[in-house]
Amino acid sequence: MRPVTFDKQKALANVTHLFWQQGYEGTSVQQILDCTGLSRSSLYATFGDKRALFIQSLAQFGQMSQAACMPLKNRGNPREAVRQFFELVFFVMPEQQRRLGCLLVNTVLEQSGLDDELARFASEQLQTVEQAFEQCFEHAVAEGRLEPDKDPRLLAAFFMTLTRGMRVAAREGQSEAMLRSMVATALNILD
């Protein structure tokens, strides 16, 4: 008999997508078992309980968010860096996936007041994105690519708030054209 191979990272990616589609509360342990092909005992041995698995999923989604921040770290034109960030976060994915919103934002909205620790963990993942915005703007001011009166911290908070809001708007079914218009309008504050 051939041994069954189990790809833990693939299983985690599949479960992350399941949580992204249905949320923490909307995903049952049975759905997780079906998604991974694991027995209950193997699931607990591999990932821990549902909550522990969800935290791992949030961390994995946070890593994907960090990958989208790469343009913000290139120290080029800040307007172009921010445009590329939004392109990666919103427009390279299929519309069906964009309509899921963001697992991190969804978790903050779903778990605030229910499980504040989960909400806080998701919020911390989002905070690293805001820090990438702030560093981008700090470098741009220091290198003369942004006017010295532009406050990097305020700009970062603004673009992070825009990102969160656009994630919710995408989930509500906002059109790509409207989302692109929002980005174009926001980029004008960097001129």
DSSP, residue by residue, 60-87? HHHHHHHHHTGGGGS-S-HHHHHHHHHI
Which pLDDT belongs to residue 161?
Answer: 97
> Which residue do the tokens 């092909």 mark?
37
Half-sphere exposure of 56 (CA within 13 A, CB side): 17
Residue 57 structure tokens: 């999923």
Using alpha carbons, select from 57, 82, 56 the residue that is nearest to residue 186.
Answer: 82
Q: What percent of the chain has pLDDT over 70?
A: 97
Using alpha carbons, select from 139, 154, 104 the residue that is nearest to residue 124.
Answer: 104
From residue 65, give the alpha-carbon distance in Å to each of 15, 102, 143: 17, 9, 26
Query: Is 87 within 8 Å of 45 (Cβ atoms)?
Result: no
Using alpha carbons, select from 129, 111, 132 the residue that is nearest to residue 120.
Answer: 111
Query: Is 169 within 8 Å of 179 (Cβ atoms)?
Result: yes
| pTM > 0.95 | no
How far is Cα 57 from Cα 41, in angstroms, rounded to an integer?
19
Kindly state the DSSP code that residue 44 receives in the 8-state scheme: H
Residue 147 structure tokens: 């006017």
Q: Does residue 2 have a pLDDT over 90?
A: no
Residues 33-87 have pLDDT tens digits of 999 999 999 999 999 999 999 999 999 999 999 999 999 998 889 999 999 999 9
pLDDT band at 4 (very low <50, low <70, confident <90, very high): low
